[in-house]
Structure 1
Amino acid sequence: MLRVRPVVFTSRIEPWRELLTAAGLVYAADDGGAWLEFDAASGRLGLRRVDAGDPADGHVRLGFEVRDLDEFARRTAADGTKAAIEDADHGRTVRITAPSGFSFLADPASPSFGNHPGPDQPDPALAVRPVWVTPDVPGAVATLRGIGAHPRFGDAGEWADFAAKNGGLVAVRHGAAEQLELSFEYDDDLTALRDRLTAAGITGSVADEAAGQALLVEHPDGAKPAIRMLRFTVRPDASSRPADTD
């Protein structure tokens, strides 16, 4: 199995919680306020609390959940992608390293997935879609193929879009510097999503971009990340190129 689960490191847990739940994700787990998990209809998101002023504050890291770490590492390495099991501060994990040197983790699937028996359920139109910006798009594409992600569409050498079998999306876009940007895909009316966020006190605006419409929302971490706005984008078509970010 493979499920997308990026991690946001933040000192602003409550603004994030408010935004995520208003957008249509559902709270699934809370480890004493230090680690929270949220489910979208497709993919998940983790929030890791850090102190204000921590160098990691406001940063996002690419991450996945898998069922069997040893089997995942074996199969990924057998496909020619660099993967190694290591002990991280949160436990045993697999580190995957792309040809550019960019790396990310695959952790054991959390038992909290789907843990929302109450009336609140994820918005069926919402998917988690981190964007991997890299000067080496072919290397990133090969790496995502190597871990078992399935390509949806793209433009060779410029951008690509992948889906994970068990939920979540990952986009790859060419850029001068390696970084990860958090975004979401919304397969419904962005205006209705904007109105829902507005009702929760979160301001957003719908804009026409090169790849289609996008709902732009102020980033909960303010000016800390290089990306000032959080994007909810419509599903791109095969001929569209993703717009440049802020």
Structure 2
Amino acid sequence: MYKRFYLLVFTLGILSGCDPLSETYLWETTTSTTSATFYSADFKEDQKRPEFALVELDSLQNYGQLLRKMQQLSCDNKFTGIQFTDMDTLYGITGFTECPNDGIISCYLNRNIIKIKNDSLMNFGGDQDKLVHINTLEKELQKIIATTFRLQFDKNFINPALIHLFIEDKYPITLTKEVLKEIITQFEKINSEMGADYFTYSILFDGISYMDIPPPTPPVLSNTLEELNVVE
């Protein structure tokens, strides 16, 4: 069963006014020669689908190029698989972004939100404004797991993670590869130990950094009887 919630985004995209793209995607062909492969569980499942399209990360210069290709695929109702090499290992992971022409505001409920900008993410517990390096992702995921209320209702699974990812174009594609490699490695490690569906995740490739969006201003509460409409 296809579990990831972003299926809704692509389903709604069918109703959008996106102009159809050419059905030939030049970036879908790989010529990589490696001695090992490390694919996420979702990548293995999705690559069997006819609407699956593969993006070769090694052929791109930066995150912005990746995002634009993913947006094109999203408008054409395609699933995006991202493949890249590191040393002698071939990695595969899935991700999604929203078609910029849709004008759809998605709502993601009961998610463990993880925000990543460049090579940093917000820590869980303690000072929420403190940033930590991506190579500490394992520790941050263990903090989430240790918080019992993050379990799915009536199940021994952690609520799925929604990863907001944004990387500035001034950084080369190698940084995107580093971040994605860490995400694949740490989540697959947890799920190999606890069960395939214990802690699922989806990566939302954003056009802006959600770290830089200030939280909404809390409403001003008044204690006056007149404004509270209390009659003595």
Q: Fold conserved (TM > 0.5)? A: no
More helix by share: 2
**Structure 2 length-normalised TM:** 0.26
**Structure 1 length-normalised TM:** 0.25
More strand by share: 1
